[in-house]
Amino acid sequence: MLSRVFLLYLESLLITTLLVGSFLGLWIGLRALRRVDKTIKNRQAHLYDMLLIAVMTIPILSFAMMGILLVLKA
């Protein structure tokens, strides 16, 4: 039972990481295409902010995704 929950958490962690990573990659790419940041320091600061947001939100969204997967697999 514990290994099943752990595998479910790992699956949700992978899904959430891919979703957040693709969303942030798209956001950073669109921002680069529009040339919002003029200097390298501004681009680097924005990149660090996005990485920090990803690191903070992935575990939280992973538990939410685990709940959804648990309901769908039940």
Question: What is the average pLDDT across 17-34?
Answer: 94
As a residue count, the chain comes to 74
Residue of 43, 22, 41 lying closest to 32 (CA atoms): 43
User: What number is the average pLDDT over the span 50-65?
Assistant: 95
pLDDT of residue 57: 95
- 61 pLDDT band, cuts 50/70/90, is very high
Average pLDDT of the residues of the chain: 93
Residue 40 burial (CB < 10 Å; 0-12/13-18/19+)?
A: exposed
Mean pLDDT over 48-64 rounds to: 95
